[in-house]
Amino acid sequence: MEAYARARPELVWSFGSELRGIYAVWLREFKVFQREKSRVISSLMTPLMWIFIFGGGLGASVTIPGTGGGAVDYQTYIYPGILTMAVMFSSIFYGLYVVWDKKVDVLKEVLVSPVSRLSIFAGKVLGGCTDASLQAAILLVIGVVAFKIDLGGLALAAVLILLASISLVALGLTIGSFFESFEGFQVIISFLAFPLFFLSGALFPLSESLPDWLHAIAKVNPLTYVVDGLRGSLLGSAFNVSGLLADFGAVVGFAAGMLVVGSWAFGRMKV
């Protein structure tokens, strides 16, 4: 130790240091993810029940117009929607988890380090994104095995999932940065997560026969474009309403917007 004391290095700070800070934050999140395998497995249960029980049951009872005239069954039709739902829930909840970090003070150690707030935010977003994407990957494998999926569209689907996840983690972090406790959680689930999901066309086609108000809300719901884009890429262009380019643009815009808002909110957060 004495040798080190003599060679006391001044801390050199550069862009590289910030990248290493992002990596440090991400790695911590990844290790937590690795160590909570049971949580990951159980979080897959809900989407699987939606696809196979809800989808299988309802699909056997009714015919939904817009499912390509019966080209695919209802289960296959809602699969991209449920994939979106899984990504949404794990991303938003991951972001909201920052409330817990604040409560148990582990965040203080990171915030008092020389790493900039923006880098800490970036590390957090990447961490949540990894978490959600790995879950989506497992669901994609199940989907490829269970349904007739266009393998050529997998790459575009992966990009859409990543972008959606980035946006939604940033959304969760934004909300989490304002909260002091978990008390408001139920409110967020009821007034944000479920409406985003139900109004995204995940479970039914957003056709002209829908009530006007529902149609209007769905049009401004960013998740609508995620679901539509995933349907187009995984099931084929016949199932795409807005056009893949429009979907992609909307999702990129959502991600960019949420990153700006999220980094602002995270930057002003006090612990």
In whole angstroms, the minimum distance from the beta carbon of 123 to another protein comes to: 10
In whole angstroms, the minimum distance from the beta carbon of 122 to another protein comes to: 14
Stated length of the chain:
271
In whole angstroms, the minimum distance from the beta carbon of 219 to another protein comes to: 37
C-alpha closest to that of 86 among 223, 218, 204: 223
Of 11, 45, 145, 220, which lies in the binding site for another protein, with binding defined by CB under 8 A?
11
d(CA 128, CA 168): 9
> For residues 172-231, which are near another protein according to CB under 8 A?
180
Identify whether the C-beta of residue 210 lies closer than 8 Å to the C-beta of residue 132. Answer: no
Q: Is 96 in the site for another protein (CB under 8 A)?
A: no
Q: Is 271 in the site for another protein (CB under 8 A)?
A: yes
Q: Amino acid identity of 21? A: G
Q: Which stretch binds another protein (CB under 8 A): 30-38, 47-55, 129-137, 197-205?
A: 30-38
Q: How far is CA 81 from CA 35, 106, 234, in A?
A: 28, 35, 11
Q: Take residue 115 and report the two structure tokens written for it.
A: 């790493």
Q: Is 113 in the site for another protein (CB under 8 A)?
A: yes
Identify whether the C-beta of residue 56 lies closer than 8 Å to the C-beta of residue 75. Answer: yes
Could you list the residues that contact another protein (CB under 8 A)? 1-2, 4-5, 8-9, 11-13, 16-17, 20-21, 23-25, 27-28, 31-32, 35-36, 102, 105-106, 108-116, 180, 270-271
